[in-house]
Amino acid sequence: MTRTISILATVLIAVSACDSSPPELPPDSPSAMVEVLTGDAGNADLKKLTTYEWDDDGAAAGAQFAWIGQDAGGDPDAQATEAAAALAEFLIADHAALMAVGSGFLGLSKVPAAQLNPMLIRSYAAALAPFFGDLVGGQQQAFDTVRTQVLADPSALRNLLSVLVADPEAGRTAVEAVRVAAQRYEDAAAAAPPESDESVADLTAAGSLLGAAFGAVKQAESDIPTRTSGEALNDMAVRIASILVRSDPNPAKVSTYVQNGVLMTPDQVERAFSNAAMRTYFLDLQDYISTKGFGEGLTAFQDAFKATSNEAAR
């Protein structure tokens, strides 16, 4: 019996050793990496890379992805965009496996990939940071597939972000990038014709981004600062109203909050009036932008936030 147990233990150790061979790092060349990531085995290769327990917390592997975020918007933008889209597709498709990676003896312990390889996950967050807006809108063809998936499945973007939020530093990078991308959509909505499909689409995109970030953070029970649906709605109303007021000779009921043609900030309103006045301030701003043709967009923003955050399930 003792001999049998000894043989079994030897076999198990041997099997474990066979599974411990490190995968190849991605190529140094951006074009070669794009070819690998977008190939038939792209997701499988990324999964091996992400779930292997690297001795350096995934630092060397992560360094291979640094060019993606750095090249965003530059001359090699096409390659960076393709690589980012492939990475996003992988994180969405394999998020469940990445949140429960086998670790320890025979992989019996289950931990997030972010705990196993925090440096690699931080590199993923940095690589995707300039591209979060492309996941919910825009015209980048490389993101067509993942964008369609995100728009069809409200949980998709939240699942992607949950992989990143599992590491606090990666999560902060991602959440901040989402906030910036959402603000760009809010600005675009304010610049679009009132009551237009464009303004509604822009506010839907903004709500989707912010809701996904909020949902991922709450799901992870993280302390990364995020805005609730009500806070995000207030922020959006302030941002759009601030833009509209600049060219509005008669801002009607919000004129109380306008000084020298500029809308007062929430902090200024609280100091000038009181904390109790804040609720009226935000409601007045929401009513103001609604009367200016953004009522449908306001509703779309709220609905998108609730859908991607999974707020209804809480």
Q: At what angle do helices 144-152 and 155-165 cross, to 10 degrees?
A: 110
Q: What percent of the chain has pLDDT over 70?
A: 90
User: Of the candidates 180, 150, 163, which has an alpha carbon nearest to the alpha carbon of residue 124?
Assistant: 163
pLDDT at 18: 42
Tens-place pLDDT, residues 66-88? 999 998 877 656 999 999 999 99
| pLDDT value, residue 313 | 55
Between the alpha carbon of residue 15 and those of residues 18, 50, 104, 209, the distances in Å are 5, 20, 14, 43
Query: Residue 210's pLDDT is what?
Result: 99
Pull the structure tokens for residue 51: 């779930």
Q: In this structure, what are the phi and psi dihedrals at residue 110, rounded to the nearest 5 degrees?
A: -115, 120
**Average pLDDT of the segment spanning 194-223:** 96
State the pLDDT at residue 64: 96
- 7-21, 49-63, 239-253: segment of lowest average pLDDT: 7-21
Q: Is 246 left (phi over 0), alpha (psi -120 to 50) or beta?
A: alpha
pLDDT tens digits along 252-294: 889 999 999 999 999 999 999 988 899 999 999 999 999 999 9
Beta bridge partners of 105: none
Of residues 141 and 8, the one with the higher pLDDT is 141
When pLDDT is cut at 50, 70 and 90, the band that residue 303 belongs to is: very high
Check residue 13 and give its pLDDT: 43
What value does the mean pLDDT take over residues 124-134? 97
The predicted structure's pLDDT at residue 9: 45
Q: What is the pLDDT of residue 274?
A: 86
- Say if residue 172's pLDDT is above 70: yes
Residue 220 has pLDDT above 50, yes or no: yes
pLDDT of residue 6 exceeding 80, the answer is: no
The Cα–Cα gap between 169 and 201 comes to 31
Mean pLDDT across the chain: 91
**For the chain, what percent of residues have pLDDT higher than 90?**
82
